[in-house]
Amino acid sequence: MQAEIITIGDEILIGQIVDTNSAFIAKQLNKIGVSVYQITSVQDEEEHILKSLKEAEENADIIILTGGLGPTKDDITKNTLAAYFQDTLVQDEAVLENIKFLWENYVQKPLSQLNIDQALIPSKAIALMNKVGSAPGMWMEKGNKTFISLPGVPFEMETLIQEEVLPRLQKKYKSPYILHRTLLTYGLGESSLAELIEDWEANLPKHIKLAYLPNLGKVRLRISAKGFHKEQIIKEVDEQIQLLLPLIKEYFTGFEDLEETIEALVAKQFIAQNKTLSAAESCTGGKIAERITEVPGASNYFKGSIVSYATEVKTSVLKVSEELIKKHSVVSAEVAEAMAVSALKLFETDYAIATTGNAGPTKGDSDAEVGTVYIAIARKGFVYSEKYMLGNHRVKVINKAVNKAFEMLQKEFLKNR
């Protein structure tokens, strides 16, 4: 079963936004055994959309479009889809009811004609109800091919994929099982790693694929297989992993589950062990807390964070001694550790994590080189910190530091098991 994803919108082709929808959809399709043959991003232009629909129909069984479903004139996907199916637009009463409901409850303004027109869909289409926005999804069939059109706003698209598209696809198509297992390795370059596992790779069965994903000191090895016998696939891949692991023992740090971000993994561990967490953030400016709280259920283990952006807040709110800051500078292992210990006490948690660093572009309150970040973890009677040099691009430094913080939390748990 093959799918093609078509994302529609000039904003993608001028680089104004990064297309994150495709990765989300591809990941979800993979979970139900549907491979993505191609992802195509096209302009808000009828002729171009028609051409891509035709090509996609030749290549794939399932064609998923996102974007171009808004109420304004630059949104032309719906009319183009009607043209492709030689169909006309008709008002869908259920969609109109949904729009009226949303307007009454959230918008509290009168419905305009533009809003009402969002209930128009091709007569051959089944409406996929959008509970979080006014543009419905649409499901259209042509022989055994399925065309699905979804709004481009990520959270609307995501809800529709989860609640409407996946269940319907699973009902309609019998799909194979797709397995991806990704092994994380640190400390060896891509080519050296390839040499190390050359014989193993050469002996892989043809239906098991290996990919190298290098990224600054870390290389991920992805093993993929596909087939109708789920247990068989899992067994075969596991056997290969058992052969591989002794070869890369020194460099292997764990599995990256495709479905689980590191913050979700950390959340699971805290909740399973009934432990609580707090934070004290300087250079990460609240982003650790934000990433934690974006995962539903965060309130089960996360108590809070103090964002001590100004140096004086480290003394006034976090009670880090002025002397310590003067002696070691505000960007130092000592201050990071004192911040973590302080958060542990203030929030009365089992663990606390703290960051202090200089994200640039200028040096700020410390002499530390731009990109220097200290991260500390405290638990009762114990605190330690690590120093990182994370480059010279502000947003990258912040994001890398946040990732490092989650990595440290995860390792801390592995150590204490």
**Touching its own copies, residues 52-91 (CB under 8 A):** 52, 55, 70-75
Q: Identify the residue among 86, 109, 249, 417 touching its own copies (CB under 8 A).
A: 109
Write out the H or E segment, with its range, that includes residue 209: strand 209-215
Size of the site for its own copies (CB under 8 A): 117
What contacts 279, CB < 8 A, 6 or more positions away?
Answer: 288, 289, 292, 304, 305, 306, 343, 352, 353, 354
Query: By CB under 8 A, what part of segment 307-366 binds its own copies?
Result: 307-310, 312-313, 316-317, 346-348, 360-362, 364-365
Given a contact cutoff of 8 angstroms between Cβ atoms, the answer to whether 403 and 395 are in contact is no
Query: By CB under 8 A, what part of segment 376-415 binds its own copies?
Result: 389-396, 398
Query: Which residue number, 109 or 326, has a Cβ lying nearer to its own copies?
Result: 109
Q: Identify the residue among 94, 213, 245, 272 touching its own copies (CB under 8 A).
A: 213
Max Cα-Cα span within the chain: 77
Rounded to an integer, what is the distance from CA 296 to the centroid of its chain?
Answer: 14
Query: By CB under 8 A, what part of segment 292-311 binds its own copies?
Result: 292-294, 296, 298-299, 302-310
Calpha distance 380→230 (Å, rounded): 45
Site string for its own copies, 215-234 (x = CB under 8 A): x------x-x----------
Q: How far is the CB of 340 from its own copies (least distance, A)?
A: 15
What contacts 229, CB < 8 A, 6 or more positions away?
Answer: 177
Query: By CB under 8 A, what part of segment 176-195 binds its own copies?
Result: 180, 182, 189-192, 194-195
Q: Is residue 249 close enough to count as binding its own copies by CB under 8 A?
A: no
Calpha distance 403→397 (Å, rounded): 10
Calpha distance 394→410 (Å, rounded): 25
Q: Is residue 201 close enough to count as binding its own copies by CB under 8 A?
A: yes
Site string for its own copies, 16-35 (x = CB under 8 A): xxxxx-xxxxxxxxx----x
Stretch of residues binding its own copies (CB under 8 A), selected from 88-96, 103-111, 238-246, 327-335: 103-111
Strands (E), 328-381: 351-357, 372-379
Q: How far is the CB of 124 from its own copies (least distance, A)?
A: 26
Given a contact cutoff of 8 angstroms between Cβ atoms, the answer to whether 410 and 266 are in contact is yes
